[in-house]
Amino acid sequence: MIKKVTPRQIAPFLILAAVAIASLFIPVVPGFEDKAGVYNPADIAWIIVATALVFLMTPGLAFFYGGMVHRKNVISTMIKSVVAAGVVGVLWIVVGFSLAFGSSIGGFIGDPTTFLFFKDVSSGAPWSLAPSIPLALFALFQMMFAIITPGLVVGAVAERIRFTSYILFTVLFSLLVYAPLAHWSWHPDGFLFKMGVLDFAGGTVVHISAGCAALAGALVLKRRKVHMENKEIPPANVPYVLIGTGLLWFGWFGFNAGSALGSNALAVSAFATTNTAAAAAGLSWMFFDVVRGKKPSVLGFCIGAVVGLVAITPAAGFVGIPQSIFIGAVAAIISNIAVYYKQKSRLDDTLDVFPCHGIGGMVGMLMTGLFASKAVNSAGNDGWFYGNFDFFFTQVKALVIVVAFSFTASFIIFKFINFILPLRVTEEEEELGLDATQHNEKYLQGTLLVAKNGQMKEEEVSEHISE
């Protein structure tokens, strides 16, 4: 029997169909002719690889988050991270790139018509800050950042948000929060860029914005039943977390080293600071757990390493390699303490996105203000540690602005969605798990032959896995 479909359920398909049809009427024009020979083949090759590496972080994030939730919510958590590749992958081509990097409107947002449906991207001259690679490659590299950012928010709202509501959140967050922040920070006419704020690969644009959105989402969605009952949720699959961490760490080399936008010494430096901070942070979190009386754990090292990657992101191309050890170690301790106090509060941020990504990003921005050095990157600045307090204060001002904007805008987005759609699943659906109720799928599928009373019976696998 075919279930009756409501207009709300049809709407996403109709919108996609309209976009697909509209795309047919966009004229195809010849690509940019590099008559002056500005393209550098080595730079192009490296940024293509870096773009692919950043994309790999999205399925990596799915494994990272999916392994930490209850087994009845693994599939629903993983698809929410991965589906951003579809939603943002289309949205960025249609209007996202224009809003982030189109002709500036007052330093706050790009003109949506500049690159509408990627108009003039293939035929356009290179981006001013990436003159040796095609504009299309720069746009695709930036798209991967836009894809993973809403995926980060999933960890805070996991196990209780409706899939359709999350899809709408991804669209609104990408257009109303991510795109403006990217414009402010990375467009030469963006107002934070003009202030002299340094964010090498996304401390503000990606991690603080996602962390603050995660906090807003957790507050609007309120607490899960298991959280109110103080039940401990066993991770579904710790090896998944380890696999996800490896994919994130690997992809982060493209994230940070690729942000040098060329195959050069700065990319090598950013590569080194990225690995060093992650290594130091993983050890710092694990050893700090031991100091607090806990045993060293796989989860502890993995979470710590990711916090280190978050913290070094804004600083990767501006600080020295030795200083990245300090940045990673300190960021892990601060986030570890933040997680401890969050667990004692009524805040139900399922996978600690705000303490790890939000606060980790804030620490990274401040550490950039402390340890940035023109000796590493002449296009950067010297930090307070090298006698320039003014630059540190600039980073502080940017942090406050981005936190206030990201949290407020995201809170309004979640409230708006809740007004027009049910944001949260029902209590019964939450009890049964979102894998079954939202997707009609299970983390564990199939049957087993079980011996009972001398007879062999076929039973569902899930019946033999403890709750």
Domain at 173, CATH number:
1.10.3430.10
152-173 residue pLDDT tens = 999 999 999 999 999 999 999 9
18: in domain: no
Residue 210 · residue 19 · CB < 8 Å: no
Total domains in the chain come to 1
Residue 354, amino acid:
F
321 within domain boundaries: yes
In 345-382, which positions are buried (b, 16+ CB within 10 angstroms) versus exposed (e)?
Answer: eebbbbbbbbbbbbbbbbbbbbbbbbbbbeebbeebbb
User: Do residues 51 and 141 touch, judged by C-beta distance below 8 A?
Assistant: yes
Beta strands 447-452 and 109-110 are unpaired
For residue 393, the number of C-alpha atoms closer than 13 Å in the C-beta half-sphere is 4
Q: Is residue 467 part of a domain?
A: no
What is the Cα–Cα distance from 138 to 278, expressed in whole angstroms? 26
**Separation CA 178–CA 95 (nearest Å):** 13
Query: In this predicted structure, what is the pLDDT of residue 212?
Result: 98
How large is the C-alpha radius of gyration of the chain? 23
Asked whether residue 335 is assigned to any structural domain, the reply reads: yes
To which residue do tokens 């293939």 refer? 122
Rounded Cα distance between 449 and 357, Å, is: 44
In a domain, 12, yes or no: no
Q: What is the tens place of the pLDDT at every residue in 398-450?
A: 999 999 999 999 999 999 999 998 999 999 999 999 999 999 888 876 555 56
Contacts 24+ apart (CB under 8 A), 180-183: 180/99, 180/108, 180/109, 180/405, 181/205, 181/209, 181/402, 181/405, 181/406, 182/100, 182/101, 182/142, 182/145, 182/146, 183/99, 183/100, 183/101, 183/104, 183/107, 183/108, 183/109, 183/110
What residues does 68 pair with on adjacent strands? none
Rounded to two decimals, the pTM is 0.94
Cα distance between residue 306 and residue 312, in whole Å: 10
Q: How far apart are CA 317 and CA 435, in angstroms?
A: 41
Q: Is 82 exposed, middle or buried (0-12, 13-18, 19+ CB in 10 A)?
A: middle
Give the tokens for residue 51.
Answer: 């773009």
Within-domain flag for 316:
yes
Q: How far is Cα 444 from Cα 185, in angstroms, rounded to an integer?
A: 44
pLDDT below 70 — which residues of the chain?
Answer: 1-3, 445-467
Q: How far apart are CA 405 and CA 414, in angstroms?
A: 14
Helices 265-291 and 321-343 pack at an angle, to 10 degrees, of 40
For residue 306, is it within any domain? Answer: yes
Query: According to the 3-state scheme, what is the secondary structure of 144-169?
Result: HHHHHHHHHHHHHHCCCECHHHHHHH
Cα dihedral 100/102/106/107 (nearest 10)? 40
The pLDDT, as a whole number, for residue 1 is: 46
pLDDT of residue 458: 57
Instruction: Name the DSSP class of 96.
Output: I
Domain assignment present for 99: yes
H-state helical runs in 233-264: 238-257
According to DSSP, the residues that pair with 450 across neighbouring strands are 457
Closest-CA residue to 414 (of 399, 429, 427, 424): 424
Is the Cβ–Cβ distance between 72 and 435 less than 8 Å? yes
Residue 250 to residue 335: CA distance in whole angstroms: 22
The predicted structure's pLDDT at residue 25:
93
Round to whole Å and give the CA distance between 402 and 408.
Answer: 10
- Contacts of residue 123, Cβ cutoff 8 Å, sequence gap at least 6: 29, 30, 31, 32
pLDDT score at 55: 98
Domain residues for the domain of 183 are 40-429
The H or E element containing residue 450 is: strand 447-452
